[in-house]
Structure 1
Amino acid sequence: WLTQVRIYHQHRYNQSVPNPCKDVCSHLCLLRPGGYTCTCPQGTRFIEGSSTECDAAIESPPTMPPACRCMYGGTCYLDESGLPKCKCSYGYTGNYCEIGLSKG
């Protein structure tokens, strides 16, 4: 039973601190007091004779969606071609909802 979990991410922790999980486990590395433990995805196990390499396929990470550049409360969505578009809030227009419509 885990009582503490730490997740290291290059943009979320002090990189001057050594990371014992860097390039050690094939799938998931869990830090624990005094070191680390490698784990495998559910339903898989370590390759015989290894405590760091799982018999599971290594999947590519999902591609990140493009950044939303809509302004002034505009909502991002992907069009039929998968390109980001903006649905503007009332009173705004433009590709990024950057143009305020004059009231009159």
Structure 2
Amino acid sequence: MTSRSENFQNRINTEREVICIVNRSDFGKHTPLAGLSIGAINNWLLRLNNVYPTKHADTLYAHLVEIGKSIGSISDDSRGIFQKSKIQNLEMLEKIKFNIKELCKKILIP
């Protein structure tokens, strides 16, 4: 079983990784994502739609919100006893990160 500090560090690393995926994209350089809180994601979506309206924004938004909610469970000790659920959550996070990477490639700067 991992310690509380390890779980917290895993959460932070996942959040940083997702933010870097978005911010390293072509559009992310001009509309950076500040965090994975709902407020940060909403602010980012408004700026993205003002600068680069795209049909992929809503899907990307949904993935960011989902991963933002999911990473909270990584550092939640009360879920440590449900190891199978935790592993499934980590697998889901990897799938969402992959989807975010693919969507970021589709949003092109005009």
TM-score of Structure 1 vs Structure 2, range by shorter chain:
under 0.3
RCO (CA 8 Å, sep 6+): is it higher in 1 or 2? 2
Question: Hey, which of these two has a bigger chunk of strand by percent?
Answer: 1
Question: Hey, which of these two has a bigger chunk of helix by percent?
Answer: 2
- TM-score, length basis structure 1: 0.24
Structure whose CA Rg is larger: 1
